[in-house]
Amino acid sequence: MEDRKGTPESGMSARYDAGSIDVAVIGAGHAGCEAALACARLGLQTVLFSMNLDAVANMPCNPSIGGTAKGHLVREIDALGGEMGKVADRTFLQSRMLNRGKGPAVYSLRVQSDRRAYQMDMKHVIEQTENLLLKQAEIVDITCENGAVTGVLTHMGAYYKTKAVILCTGTYLMGRIIVGDVSYSGGPDGMFPANRLSEALVRIGVKLMRFKTGTPARINRLSVDFSKMEEQKGDEEITPFSFENDDIGENQVSCFLTYTNSETHRIIKENLHRSPLYSGMIEGVGPRYCPSIEDKVVRFADKERHQIFIEPMGKNTEEMYVQGFSSSLPEDVQLKMLRSLPGLEHAQMMRTAYAIEYDCADPTQMLPTLEFKEIGGLYGAGQFNGSSGYEEAAAQGLVAGINAALKIKNEAPMILERSGSYIGTLVDDLVTKGTKEPYRMMTSRSEYRLLLRQDNADARLTPEGYRIGLISEERYQAFLEKQERIEKEKERLEKIVVPPSDKVNKFLESHNSTPLKTGIKMTELLRRPELSYEMLSELDEGRPMLHRFEAEQVEIQTKYDGYITRQMKQVEQFKKLEDKKIPADIDYQQIDGLRLEARQKLDKTRPVSLGQAGRISGVSPADISVLMIYLEQQKLMRKQEAQADVK
């Protein structure tokens, strides 16, 4: 293990027996909260360990939930029975549906959250959950026997025997804060780092990587001149994250937009020699899609300006978050940069921006269940798996928690296919391809964007949440009734023929739509881009009363029927390869025709299906063909042997 710049604290109490539990969840960020809640709700005795209970469900970076592709993840979490969407609905300050100018496949819900209200709400949910204990303690060791975890040890010497351990350590593992030429051992938001667990993980065989992320400064609202900025209001009609919610209240705040300028860029360029990014002080790999402002100025030198969003941290604080202004430059330079922005000429910086380096695991060590291949009962989730973002973390925490519970209960695991969810895409990308930098979910990462919309996450995943046991009978029945109303309305529209008439043609012309010369089905009218389901109510006297989200489904499914059908055919082809399972004990070295690189990559990843094997970098279509033939031959041999035994 590489030399560390943080020094582990010495001294630890004598070990004592703290009892037996089913699951130990290490870390109470967004991954840990979802993992622990899932395990406890599925009936397992669970302990959620946090180094500081004031950091439960913390948002150390942007105080928001959702965003492009991330909003999809939150709605999928809710459809499976997770908690993030519900807490976000209860504590939001402003709600906006992003990308309205594009197609519904990339609509993404985002809310500005009250940071402390979100934390308190989630913490209270955890405190009230049966089978779940929230415990302030640092885990310093994990014990294993016969290739499986057996317990965890706290810094106070408490030893818990456990059947499963879920690692949700965020950016705490050997955390190092960096601002200019100042660096020190620390976790996010002034918390202590976890300096001992990394060594324990290496000792039991976990391969670690070193990543880096950053967070912008916070400023005092009273020092901001908003008249020089563009106001960004929330949506008039609010869409909740949770499918169980309807009316969740109104927007309470605005966000504001300003821009960098030539003076900002001059200050940054003249101080690049003081940036730890370029001096070599930062060793960890940073996120490509969320770079620091100094990185943006260097990489996009032709851009005259960059967007900077000024967003509130909560109702009961004057702190504001400067989104898009992540930096690790020295504090004095940061203040000059801030004050070069329109509206921030007199800004008071309350918290300095910083970079943080931390240890995380190579996710290719894990199965699609997020369990380590070589260490039974050990799971990883969130930034520990090399991802970035609260939403990505929560999604993985839910997957890890569900699968840990299912394994302990001797039930079939939950493996979400990438054709059925963004969560499935996220997990598959991580465990199959790995990541060389903090992974961020984007809609472009999915091959099936039109099918995996944020609006239909319940249709895709609620049945699975119900099967697992996280969706109640009442909610499931309400879901089935909703789907039935949608299907009935689609069938009704298909049967209605609209004849040409003066009234109809006058209506069509008023909406810049071609008049009718012959009768046409109502569904064909709805497929016209200039017409909507709501507009057509003028021509449809027998229309039933539908909820706005049901009407939305009728419209989207009708308008995009051809494209959806085409993608469904692609999914059918995809599933053929996903259904061809690969035995866990297969010896790739014995398969003639496989290239050396393919053997090495397949042996390292240990894919569970031909579909997953085909997504491994370095495995070619020719290799997949060889593997497919080998599996068919093995299947035939087993069949012949079985027939011979019968004779």
Query: Band of the pLDDT at 616, cuts 50, 70, 90?
Result: confident
Q: Residue 627 corresponds to which amino acid?
A: L
At 367-425, the pLDDT tens digits run: 999 999 999 999 999 999 999 999 999 999 999 999 999 999 999 999 999 999 999 99
Place of tokens 């279509």: 621
Give the pLDDT score at 287.
64
- Reported as type and span, the H/E element at residue 617 is none
Burial of 157-192, coded b for 16+ CB within 10 Å and e otherwise, reads ebbbbbbbbbbbbbbbbbbbbbbbeebebbbbbebe
At 498-542, the pLDDT tens digits run: 999 999 999 999 999 999 999 999 999 999 999 999 999 999 988
Q: Residue 53: how many CA atoms within 13 Å on its side-chain side?
A: 12
Going by CATH, does the domain composed of 580-646 fall within 1.10.150.570? yes
* Residue 385, number of CB atoms within 10 A of its CB: 29
Query: Band of the pLDDT at 3, cuts 50, 70, 90?
Result: very low
Give the pLDDT score at 622.
85
Percent of the chain with pLDDT over 90: 77
Assign a CATH topology to domain 16-463.
FAD/NAD(P)-binding domain (3.50.50)
- Arithmetic mean of pLDDT, 30-35: 98
Give the pLDDT score at 7.
40
Alpha carbon 385 to its chain's center: 12
Query: Band of the pLDDT at 572, cuts 50, 70, 90?
Result: confident
Distance (Å, whole) CA 458 – CA 304: 43
Query: Band of the pLDDT at 289, cuts 50, 70, 90?
Result: low
* Residue 341, number of CB atoms within 10 A of its CB: 22
Asked whether residue 1 carries a pLDDT value surpassing 70, the answer given is no
Burial classification of residue 211, based on how many CB atoms lie within 10 Å of its CB (0-12 exposed, 13-18 middle, 19 or more buried)? buried
- Arithmetic mean of pLDDT, 153-174: 97
Reference 305, options 263, 339, 338; nearest CA is 263
Domain boundaries, the chain: 16-463, 486-568, 580-646
Could you tell me where the beta strands, DSSP code E, fall in 146-181? 148-154, 158-167, 176-179
Write down the mean pLDDT value for the chain. Answer: 93
Query: Band of the pLDDT at 121, cuts 50, 70, 90?
Result: very high
Reference 176, options 201, 198, 155, 154; nearest CA is 198
At 10-21, the pLDDT tens digits run: 455 679 999 999
- Reported as type and span, the H/E element at residue 571 is helix 561-578
Give the pLDDT score at 288.
64
- Arithmetic mean of pLDDT, 620-627: 86
Asked whether residue 426 carries a pLDDT value surpassing 60, the answer given is yes
Residue 185 and residue 195 in contact, taking contact as beta carbons nearer than 8 Å: yes
Name beta bridge partners: 164: 23
Q: How many Å is the maximal CA-CA distance in the chain?
A: 91
Does 486-568 match 580-646 in CATH topology? Answer: no
Asked whether residue 214 carries a pLDDT value surpassing 80, the answer given is yes
The sign one gets for the Cα dihedral 255, 259, 264, 265 is positive
Distance (Å, whole) CA 454 – CA 456: 6
Output the six-digit token pair for 235. 């949506």
Going by CATH, does the domain composed of 486-568 fall within 1.10.10.1800? yes
